[in-house]
Amino acid sequence: MALQRLMRVLLVCVVGYSSASVVDNTNFRTPRQNPANIFTVGNGEQCLSADRTTGGVCLSRNQCNTQGGKAIGFCGVFATCCSLNACDVRTNTKVAVFINPPLNHESSGLECSYNVEINNNNVCQMRIDFETFNLAPPTTVDPVENVTQRPGFTCRNDIFQVTNLQANSDILPPLCGDNNGQHLYVRVNASTNSRAIRINFKIADRVTQPNLPQATWKIKVTQLECFNTLGKFRDGILESITQSLPSTPFGGSSADRDEYLIAPPGCLQYYPDRAGAFESFNYNRGQGPYIGNLIYSTCFKKSPDVCGIKFTAATFNMAYRDETNIYLDTDCQINPVTRGTPQSEDYLFIPEAETADGLRGSKFCGASAANQIIASTPPGPLYVHFKSDNLVTDGIPEQGYRFSYNVLNNCFGRI
């Protein structure tokens, strides 16, 4: 009888709200309301302001006030759409959106920090999406006469940094410049003493440096849950009833919804879609420069039917060791045995790569990948690996790269 009553309640909810829109947790670009969950008291999902022009996060009124947020609309009967445009915010919501406070010449030269605490013990990763990210660009020292080499481009004015990581086992690079649409992943572990990450913006003083661009940001932090086998078994009865129904207040687990977005270990960036585009940090619409001293991997989802991936370069212009680069790995990196005068060793590593004209290699630098279609068919995961050093050579641009990609399910013909 109890089961029958529960099913009647679920049917009433489904009938009453079957026309409501459903939150799409895989869409990181356009915030949407979730009117189906009208009884929410603050679920941390994305929402829109009353005039539908500004994004926020759905919180209870008390949560919004204690986190220094501003109510910009409603999301359900008991919650408010909250804009978190203050500094020194602490939150543990499933999804949090942080917006820069009003900045002007008088208020710049500040540090703005956000503490994101682990929502529950199933959380294993946090995805940070830069919906808006415009800081001062990376810089290097001014050229000196008769000296062709200088330190690389690094973040010296405005700096974005994620700290307080899992026992300092992960090192995330400081970022700056134009990174609209970029993202990164942070690995977390609820079983350790550190149950939070700290996101910090350090903004340079615009009074003493008036030529720096205005700093603005809007970042979204999504806590991703890994599967909990025991929890799924415990909740199996309810899940078996609701799994075939539309999204309701009783709908599937967060881990089920998050599975698509969980990145493989060791990936700073992850693209689960079968096609898309990716670019270097501070690509800046092809103007660059990319940031020095970066080492990280960008990964792609390898479904059972996928055997490789195809990359098409829109822009590729990196430093090089030898200007006669013809896709040979040794043109991008110096053998330690023969190391002599410092030379650039920036490159993009694409495992088991082959160009459309049949040239093979793994390390691409200079303009070797420009105007190329490249197939990568590694036996393991799909990824590319970027490395930049702390060296700039006059006359050699370090603009960066942008690729479109498509996964391959037939690798016999490759490209």
Domains of the chain, CATH where assigned: 22-261 (2.60.120.290), 269-408 (2.60.120.290)
- The pLDDT-based confidence of 363 (bands split at 50, 70, 90) is very high
CA dist 324 and 319 (Å) reads 12
Specify which of 143-152, 154-163, 241-250 reaches the highest per-range mean pLDDT.
154-163
Q: Are 53 and 63 in contact (CB under 8 A)?
A: no
The β-bridge relationship of strands 392-393 and 149-150 is: antiparallel
pLDDT confidence of residue 107 = 60
pLDDT at residue 123 greater than cutoff 60? yes
Q: Which residues contact 50 (CB under 8 A, 6 or more apart)?
A: 72, 73, 74, 81
| pLDDT(46) > 80 | no
Give the amino acid at 374: I
Q: Is residue 93 scored above 80 in pLDDT?
A: yes
Please, are residues 265 and 380 in contact by the beta-carbon 8 Å criterion?
A: no
CA 247, 249, 252 angle in degrees (round to 5)?
55
Residue whose structure tokens are 């700039």: 392
Task: Tell me the pLDDT tens digit for each residue of 193-220.
Answer: 678 899 999 999 888 888 999 899 999 9
Surface-to-core class of residue 102, CB atoms within 10 Å of its CB (0-12 exposed, 13-18 middle, 19+ buried): exposed
The residue among 181 and 5 whose pLDDT is bigger is 181
* Between residues 194 and 331, the one the model is more confident about: 331
pLDDT at 400: 96
Mean model confidence pLDDT for the chain? 79
Is the model more confident about 176 or about 336? 176
**Does residue 11 carry a pLDDT above 70?**
no
Burial status of residue 25 (CB atoms within 10 A of its CB: 0-12, 13-18, 19 or more) = middle
Instruction: Give the pLDDT confidence score for residue 414 in this predicted structure.
Output: 58
Give yes or no for residue 86 having a pLDDT over 90: no
Q: Which pLDDT tens digit goes with each residue over 296-306?
A: 999 999 999 99
Q: By the 8 A CB rule, do 100 and 112 touch?
A: yes
